[in-house]
Amino acid sequence: MGATWLVGLLALLAPAAEAPPAPVAAAPDAGVQIAAASRCEFLLYLRWGQTLRGICPRVGGEVEALADGRRRVRIWLDARAVEIADHPRYTAFARGPRFFDAERHPFLYFLSDPYPPQLLHAGGTLEGLLTVRGRSRRERLTLAPAACAVPGRECAIVVRGQLSRDEYGMPSWRMVLRDRVDLLLEVRTEPVP
């Protein structure tokens, strides 16, 4: 059972589903899932210089151990739980049909490419498929070097990324919001019960 595994973001694969994906059949030494203590933040930039901080408090997923020793992570984010800090109106917008469209697309998914376990210690690039609003695109995330001996358990795995709203069909409010969205994931792991 590897204390090493991975993280991935905002967050996120499988065609628009009504529930998080079922666990994957993994190699015998697997059994690692994304813990409820994980968190996701995103930043939205207003045209006049203000930054809005969004949070997604419901994050889940799993780490699959592959036969060749590499790992693959699947992460989901619950768009229905997204909040924009101290802004109920922006929270309604973010969950609504012109942004995440959480009623029709309740989850965002990320499925990483296979990666070596050392990536969690050294940091670096993690690529994979991100699905938002039913649209899937290849994205590149950056993992920070680990701040502890057992990333995910003793310390969070810190992942950053950036995406374009336009590429995921969220062009609304162009006069107010910039296209770029910055993502930050702090991923914690735990053994599958």
Q: How far is CA 22 from CA 60, 67, 152, 179, in A?
A: 11, 20, 21, 32
Residues 68-79 pLDDT 10s = 999 999 999 999
What amino acid is encoded at 153 in this protein? R
Name the band, by pLDDT with cuts 50, 70 and 90, for residue 9.
very low
CATH of the domain at 132: 2.40.128.110
pLDDT of residue 117: 94
Number of domains in the chain: 1
- Compare 19 and 81 and report the one with higher pLDDT: 81
120 CB neighbour count, 10 Å cutoff: 26
For residue 2, being part of any structural domain is answered with no
For residue 176, being part of any structural domain is answered with yes
Q: How far is CA 187 from CA 18, 70, 142, 171, in A?
A: 23, 18, 13, 29
Name the band, by pLDDT with cuts 50, 70 and 90, for residue 20.
low
In the numeric block, the tokens 């768009």 are attached to 79
Averaged pLDDT for residues 49-55: 92
Residues 122-162 pLDDT 10s = 999 999 999 999 999 999 999 999 999 999 999 999 999 99
pLDDT of residue 31: 80
For residue 142, being part of any structural domain is answered with yes
The domain in which residue 69 lies consists of 32-191
Considering the chain, what is the average pLDDT of its residues?
85
On the question of pLDDT at 23 being above 60, the answer is no
For residue 48, being part of any structural domain is answered with yes
Name the band, by pLDDT with cuts 50, 70 and 90, for residue 173.
confident
For residue 160, being part of any structural domain is answered with yes
pLDDT of residue 19: 52
For residue 3, being part of any structural domain is answered with no
For residue 127, being part of any structural domain is answered with yes
Averaged pLDDT for residues 54-66: 95
For the ranges 2-16, 48-62, 104-118, 164-178, the lowest mean pLDDT is seen at: 2-16
For residue 1, being part of any structural domain is answered with no
37 CB neighbour count, 10 Å cutoff: 12
